[in-house]
């Protein structure tokens, strides 16, 4: 009887641990267009590579270049990304466009021009989750 109770505890513990690992994985879903843009800035600030890449749509033509660029940014700089404003321009439940204003400032690293950038993220659904498909920069201004 005691052996059976111990086995149940072990199996329950394994199941519980597996559920925790699955729920903590970096495959977070983003159910609104705004949430994926906010998550992207958050993970870039935290320099969490896998999580930042999870905000980008795998079919994005620039996905391979984004992988390289983000790795290089994390290696060379400590930057702060702040979304100042967002406005949903379009949302048809499978594609969306968000106009954003972001301020990027250097915390540490080689020469870098702090800037205020304006652009439009084009988002597409990946299953039930919104992901950044492409970004068109419309204005970049250097700031002090």
User: What pLDDT digit, counting tens, does each position of 120-130 carry?
Assistant: 999 999 999 99
Give the residue from 139, 92, 86, 87 showing the smallest Cα distance to 116.
139
| pLDDT (0 to 100) of residue 123 | 97
User: What pLDDT digit, counting tens, does each position of 40-78 carry?
Assistant: 999 999 999 999 999 999 999 999 999 999 999 999 999
Domain boundaries, the chain: 30-142
| pLDDT (0 to 100) of residue 24 | 38
Instruction: Give 27's pLDDT tier (boundaries 50, 70, 90).
Output: low
pLDDT of 26 higher than 80: no
CATH class, domain 30-142, is alpha beta
Q: What percent of the chain has pLDDT over 70?
A: 81
Give the residue from 60, 54, 100, 64 showing the smallest Cα distance to 81.
100
Collapsing DSSP to helix, strand or coil, 84 comes out as: strand
Flag whether the pTM goes above 0.75: yes
């Amino acid at each position: 009887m005691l052996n059976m109770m111990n086995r149940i505890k072990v199996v329950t513990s394994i199941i519980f641990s597996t559920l925790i690992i699955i729920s903590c994985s970096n495959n977070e879903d983003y159910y609104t267009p705004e949430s994926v843009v906010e998550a992207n800035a958050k993970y870039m600030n935290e320099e969490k590579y896998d999580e930042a890449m999870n905000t980008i749509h795998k079919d994005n033509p620039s996905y391979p270049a984004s992988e390289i660029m983000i790795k290089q940014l994390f290696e060379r700089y400590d930057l702060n990304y702040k979304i100042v404003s967002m406005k949903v321009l379009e949302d048809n439940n499978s594609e969306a466009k968000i106009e954003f204003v972001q301020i990027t400032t250097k915390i540490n690293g080689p020469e870098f021009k702090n800037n205020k950038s304006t652009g439009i993220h084009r988002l597409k659904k990946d299953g039930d989750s919104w992901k950044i498909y492409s970004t068109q920069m419309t204005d970049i201004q250097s700031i002090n």
